[in-house]
Amino acid sequence: MREESEVAMIGNVATMALVGVLVAVSLCSCASGAGGEPGGAPPARSLKDAFAGRFHVGAALGGGLFREPGQPTLGLVARQFGTISPENVLKWGPFNPRSRVYNHEGADAFVKFGRRNGMFVVGHVLFWHSQTPDWVFEDSRGKPIGREALLKRMRERVRHVASRYRKHIDAWDVVNEAILDNGKMRKSKWLEVLGDGWIEDAFRIAGEELPRSTKLLYNDYSMTMRGRRDAVVRLVRELKRKKIRIDGVGMQGHWSLGGPRIRDIEKSIVAFHEAGVDVHITELDVDVLPRKAGMWGADVAKRLEGDPTMDPYRDGLPEEMQRKLAKRYADLFGLFLKHSDKIERVTFWGVTDRHSWLNNWPIKGRTNYPLLFDREGRPKPAFDAVINVARDSAEAVKTR
């Protein structure tokens, strides 16, 4: 009995290995663009091809990428990803720092790059408590403005981006991070001036000003916390009941090696889907560095002082940690594939480890390794693990 199953297993492994080689060959031959990744690695197998037909795979791009001529990371992005998000250039502060003053350059370059490469282009973010300038909430003498004046400014912002990028942005994070872990509303100027219904106000304006084809999303971190998950489900149902358009929920996905648990992520994916919207994994990264208690989530206002014990991998990530990261990513993408009927997009928050915001948050100046490409743009073991998950799943579908 034992012998038989061992023989069967060896047979399976041999078949799988053969299939693996065949699929790897076919993946290589259909990968777009010749040549290796920066750093001289072999020709790319691409994430966008590996998950084609399941969900888009993408990355957030920092504004700096467009200011450095001949920047190799953009080539990597074009080969690997089918969707892009702007890390900062479309946020209210960077985009429109003073009344009637606009920085279009960065946003235009971002959108143009996406269009040129036939990508699903995401706008991030219309309304957020962070990176929004004070002038938005004040009159010309610096006095707080009232509800109607603020609604008018919100509408002006949406009209402005609609007139400039109407046909070129496929989805917008309409509201970011307005709900707390316990499901209550976050205290912010938005809440102060507009009251509890402010998320609804924002979606009403976005729905009226943006084309129907633009996906409108509510986006937040720690979406596996029960209080927040339930509140977001209630929000979606309430907007739908009132016929205010919401098309998706963005789960940021700033996660770590140890948490949240796959089954808790799964619960949220299923809950949002059942509420009637698509799920977007919008800001995926896996933090491998130590954190102190109370520092989970992605609250940008939180900052810690560092000490060397909090930055243990300055000279490189040990192999064992690479393996753990690869396993974590394999588990995550296994889950995403299981629910690919509910998931429209998976976007990493950054392209290579060099540019990740986690080198500077929650502690400045650390050396973190949260993404699939290393500091030179070379695929890491986690990249192979993710590609293998797609390959194994494609095989399972074929043989079913």
Residue 232 within binding range of ligand XIL, rule CB under 6 A: no
Min dist CB 69 to ligand XIL, Å, is 21
Rule CB under 6 A: choose which of 80, 88, 368, 393 binds ligand XIL. 88
Q: Which pair of tokens denotes residue 217? A: 């999303």
Residue 37 within binding range of ligand XIL, rule CB under 6 A: no
Within 10 A of 149 (CB to CB), how many other CB atoms are there? 14
**Nearest-angstrom CA–CA distance, 127 and 104:** 18
Min dist CB 308 to ligand XIL, Å, is 24
Cβ closer to ligand XIL: 298 or 382? Answer: 298
Query: Hey, CA dihedral for 31, 37, 42, 46, is it positive or negative?
Result: negative
- Identify whether the C-beta of residue 277 lies closer than 8 Å to the C-beta of residue 271: no
Min dist CB 79 to ligand XIL, Å, is 23
Cβ closer to ligand XIL: 214 or 359? Answer: 359
- Which residues within the stretch 243-282 sit at the binding site for ligand XIL (CB under 6 A)? 252
Min dist CB 217 to ligand XIL, Å, is 11
Cβ closer to ligand XIL: 40 or 365? Answer: 365
| Residues with catalytic function | 177, 283
Give the 3-state DSSP-derived string for 217-239, with helices as H, strands as E and coil as C. EEEECCCCCHHHHHHHHHHHHHH
Residue 357 within binding range of ligand XIL, rule CB under 6 A: yes
> Which residue is listed with tokens 């990493």?
348
Cβ closer to ligand XIL: 129 or 338? Answer: 129
Cβ closer to ligand XIL: 80 or 356? Answer: 356
Residue 300 within binding range of ligand XIL, rule CB under 6 A: yes
Residue 283 within binding range of ligand XIL, rule CB under 6 A: yes
Cβ closer to ligand XIL: 298 or 343? Answer: 298
Supply the DSSP symbol for 145.
Answer: P
**Nearest-angstrom CA–CA distance, 374 and 232:** 35
- Which residues within the stretch 362-391 sit at the binding site for ligand XIL (CB under 6 A)? none
- Identify whether the C-beta of residue 326 lies closer than 8 Å to the C-beta of residue 385: yes
Residue 353 within binding range of ligand XIL, rule CB under 6 A: no
Query: Hey, CA dihedral for 361, 154, 60, 134, is it positive or negative?
Result: negative
- Identify whether the C-beta of residue 210 lies closer than 8 Å to the C-beta of residue 201: no
Size of the chain in residues? 400
Strands of the chain (E only): list them: 56-61, 83-86, 120-127, 171-176, 215-220, 248-251, 254-256, 278-287, 343-348
> Which residue type does 366 have?
R
Residue 285 within binding range of ligand XIL, rule CB under 6 A: no
**Nearest-angstrom CA–CA distance, 4 and 8:** 6
Min dist CB 23 to ligand XIL, Å, is 34
Q: Which pair of tokens denotes residue 85? A: 């998000």
Min dist CB 297 to ligand XIL, Å, is 9
Q: Please report, for residues 23, 130, 287, 350, 385, the alpha-carbon distance to residue 334 in angstroms, rounded to integers and kept in the order given.
A: 18, 33, 19, 21, 10
In the bound state, the residue with its beta carbon closest to ligand XIL is: 357
Min dist CB 360 to ligand XIL, Å, is 7
Cβ closer to ligand XIL: 55 or 357? Answer: 357
Cβ closer to ligand XIL: 298 or 330? Answer: 298
Q: Please report, for residues 55, 62, 69, 71, 291, the alpha-carbon distance to residue 116 in angstroms, rounded to integers and kept in the order given.
A: 20, 18, 17, 16, 40
End-to-end, the C-alpha distance of the chain in Å comes to 26
| Residue 123, burial from CB neighbour count under 10 angstroms (0-12, 13-18, 19+) | buried
Min dist CB 45 to ligand XIL, Å, is 27
Rule CB under 6 A: choose which of 37, 49, 87, 278 binds ligand XIL. 87
Total residues interacting with ligand XIL, rule: CB under 6 A = 8
Rule CB under 6 A: choose which of 151, 298, 372, 394 binds ligand XIL. 298
Residue window 162-201: x/- pattern of binding to ligand XIL, with contact defined by CB under 6 A: --------------x-------------------------
Q: Which positions lie near ligand XIL, rule CB under 6 A?
A: 87-88, 176, 252, 283, 298, 300, 357
